[in-house]
Amino acid sequence: MYHAWLVPLLPALSFAVISLLTKQWKWLSATISIGAMVSGFIIAAFIAVGVLQHPGLINHPLVYSLRWLSMPGFKVDAGILLDPLSAMMLFMVTLVASLIQIYSLGYMRGEKGFSVFFAYMSLFGASMLLLVAASNLLELFVAWEGVGVCSYMLIGFYNHKISAREAAKKAFVTTRIGDTGLLLGLLSLQLIFGTLNIADLAQKIPQFQNIPLLITVAVLFFLGPVGKSGQFPLHVWLPDAMEGPTPVSALIHAATMVVAGVYLVGRMLFMFASVPPVMELVAWVGGFTAIFAASIAITQREIKRILAYSTISQIGYMMLGLGVGSLSAGFFHLWTHAFFKALMFLGAGSVLIGLHHKADVWEMGGLIKKMPITAVTFVVGGLAISGIPPFAGFWSKGDILDATLASGHTVLFVIGSFTAFLTAFYIWRMIFLCFFGKENPENHPQESPLVMTIPLMILALFSTVAGLIGTPWWDVWGRYIHFGTYVPPVANWPLMIGDTLLGALGIYAAYLFYCKDREKTKALAARQWFGGRLYDVLYHKYYLDELYMWFNHSMVDGVARLMYLFDIYVVDGIVNGVGAFTVAAGEGLRVFQTGRLQNYALVFFLGVLAVGVLLAFTGPHATLFLGGVR
């Protein structure tokens, strides 16, 4: 367990080695990158076993650190904090990242910048692992920004495409809005408590009495996760992040980046739990985001976009779980979601490769015959996210809904349940359109190579069984990862049956609309019946992008124009004025430079004479005028 620092270090080293030394040798670079991540996974697996053997870590995390900065009144220790939460994240991130990198061998074959891609992936993984293992919030913030930078580079990986560049910028700027809040929150914590060590803060914050101040800090703090985890209203960057290569999308959506926000909220839950109004805010933002994104996902046509909105929605679930106070449920969903979402993204990537990057689900169909492995694993992912037992999503989503109901948030419970129905519907709409039904004669798909399908199969396995460690009857998960005192779960039969029925109903509705009905006439009719308007609103994502663009054009550009005028007339005026003054002074003074040697000599002599006279007549005071020492 004392070797946890190796886990973030190995991928970071791999980044350095690839970018400095082995860039030219593609396969060597890929091997180094994958090797580092897999070694990290092995270490993380041992760490996980170690943590399971030491239940004492639940309440007293293992912290070891080095002095990073030391100034009077400001000390920062950077190090590693190990408890079941971080051990679980290390395990999950290294596992998913390893599989995604192996998959990338196939997906990125023959792409330009193959080595660079693996270098970035390594750095991305390293940042996320450091973020997860950080014992200090400043250290965490550094890793947080590292994740942001890597996502920027990877989303804009196809930088010859304008849309990719725009998407990268959008992701960076949007998350930055949230990061500003997070940074302010960090500064306030340092000012108030004089430390940023998570373990120390966990001691001090619950005793802090000034609740309004703490509320402000917590809300500022929450802005960071809202941006990073794509919660409403800062979710707009996430669907556009699909411009990156598909493995990147999978990594961003499953293991790194978006779950960073959830992890931060979970890590700082002791702070949020001290201020109930902020907890309400977290829960409502999560719940609203969940249903909001799910409703958009119903109408989208691009396969990766549907998955992107699905991610936003599922992250909303996690926030909801944390917001109602259940660390266990929120993180259980994070854990299971990582597997089935990575699975579905990689499956989508496999489909895109098979169809030569044709992304519209309406133009697919019948792929199950040509791409059986992809289709079957995708269906497993679909069952998992829809909450069909015994697949992983059923247990985690059930936990969240259970916790929501138990904490008395009935409205949020209804929202969550309805979202579960929507989730099943939109995911299966996509599955039916993609893999079943009529084949599109224009497509000539073929199954992807083994290097891509094996990760799919492993992820499918995890999507099936990952939830079994947190069932009401065998709750290893909750015993290790919980907040406050541990309450053994009770099987809530009506809820479990209800969840299953809702999921099944969603799947059946999707089946009716998109599979049974070969010509999709019902789907089109329903679209009409819903009113073209509602459909349009959903299809255009509630026009939020347009709203932001309008805001950008009117407000931001307006302010910028004012600033521009200020710059031209005031700032430039001052600068030009200084210049003009110098020129004028030179014009005036140059008449004294006659170029005649004897004029100068005369002036010298008169000057010396003046000094002499002054000395003679004013005595010792003369030194005052002459600048001498008294």
Partner 1 sequence: MPALAISPTNFVLLASVLFAIGLFGALTRKNAIAVLMCIELMLNAVNINLIAFSRFVTPQLFTGQIFAIFVITVAAAEVGVGLAIIINIYRHRLSVNLDDFDWLKW
What are the residues binding partner 1 (CB under 8 A)? 590, 593-598, 601-602, 605
Rank residues 210 and 599 by Cβ distance to partner 1 and give the closer one. 599
> In the complex, what is the shortest distance from the CB of residue 566 to partner 1, in angstroms, rounded to a whole number?
37
Kindly state the smallest distance separating residue 605's Cβ from partner 1, in Å.
Answer: 6
Is residue 189 within 8 A of residue 220, CB to CB? The reply is no
8 A C-beta contact, residue 289 and residue 313: yes
Q: Is 16 exposed, middle or buried (0-12, 13-18, 19+ CB in 10 A)?
A: middle
In the complex with partner 1, the residue whose CB is nearer, 532 or 612, is 612
Residue 270 half-sphere exposure toward CB, CA atoms < 13 A: 15
The encoded tokens of residue 248 equal: 């990147």
Residue among 564 and 604 whose Cβ is closer to partner 1: 604
Shortest Å, Cβ 608 to partner 1? 10
CA distance 403 to 469: 18
Smallest distance from the beta carbon of 586 to partner 1, in angstroms? 9
Shorter beta-carbon distance to partner 1: residue 276 or 612: 612
Question: 207 or 598: whose CB is closer to partner 1?
Answer: 598
With respect to partner 1, which residue has the nearer C-beta, 212 or 588?
A: 588
Instruction: Output 390 or 612, the one with its CB closest to partner 1.
Output: 612
Ramachandran region of residue 113, left (φ > 0), alpha (ψ -120 to 50) or beta?
Answer: left
Amino acid letter, 421: F
Residue 590 beta carbon to partner 1: minimum distance, rounded to whole angstroms = 5
> Residue 598 Cβ, how far from partner 1 at the closest point, in Å?
5
Q: How far is the CB of 166 from partner 1 (least distance, A)?
A: 55
Contact in structure between 468 and 395 (CB atoms under 8 Å):
yes
In terms of CB distance, is 581 or 604 closer to partner 1? 604
Is residue 136 within 8 Å of residue 76, measured between CB atoms?
A: yes
The answer to whether the beta carbons of residues 284 and 202 sit under 8 Å apart is no
SS3 content of the chain, % helix, strand, coil (to 5): 75, 5, 20
CB of residue 548 to partner 1, shortest distance in Å? 59
If one counts every other C-beta atom within 10 angstroms of the C-beta of residue 565, the result is: 10
Q: Which tokens is 519 given?
A: 């010509």
Structure tokens at 169: 């910028």
CA distances in angstroms from 480 to 56, 271, 511, listed in the order given:
10, 20, 39
Q: How far is the CB of 601 from partner 1 (least distance, A)?
A: 6
- Contacts (Cβ under 8 Å, ≥6 apart) of 80: 4, 5, 62, 63, 64, 65, 133, 134, 135
Residue 286: half-sphere exposure toward Cβ, Cα within 13 Å? 32
Residue 465 vs 613, nearer CB to partner 1: 613
Residue whose CB is less far from partner 1, 70 or 593:
593
CB-nearer residue toward partner 1: 212 or 586: 586
How many helices and strands (H and E) does the chain possess? 29, 4
Q: In angstroms, rounded to a whole number, what is the distance separating the alpha carbons of residues 214 and 208?
A: 8
Give the nearest distance from C-beta 603 to partner 1 in angstroms: 11
Residue closer to partner 1 by CB (options 24, 593) is 593
Compare residues 408 and 588 and give the one whose CB is closer to partner 1.
588
| Burial environment of residue 208 by CB neighbours within 10 A (0 to 12, 13 to 18, 19 or more) | middle
CA dihedral (342, 344, 349, 350) in degrees, to 10, reads 120
- Judge whether 359 and 323 are in contact, CB under 8 Å: no
Cis amide leading into 233 (omega within 30): yes
Q: How far is the CB of 123 from partner 1 (least distance, A)?
A: 59
* Per-residue exposure over 429-466, b if at least 16 CB sit within 10 Å of its own CB, e if not: bbbbbbbbbeebeebebebbeeebbebbbbbbebbbeb
Nearest approach in angstroms of CB 564 to partner 1 is: 38
| Closer residue to partner 1 in complex, CB, 494/595 | 595
Q: Which of 246, 252, 307 is nearest to 104 (CA)?
A: 246
Looking up tokens 């549907």, which residue turns up? 306
In the complex, the smallest distance separating the C-beta of residue 627 from partner 1, rounded to whole angstroms, is 23
| Nearest CA among 328, 200, 336 for reference residue 271 | 200
As a whole number of angstroms, the distance between CA 415 and CA 317 comes to 10
C-beta of 594: minimal distance to partner 1 in Å?
6
375, amino acid identity: A
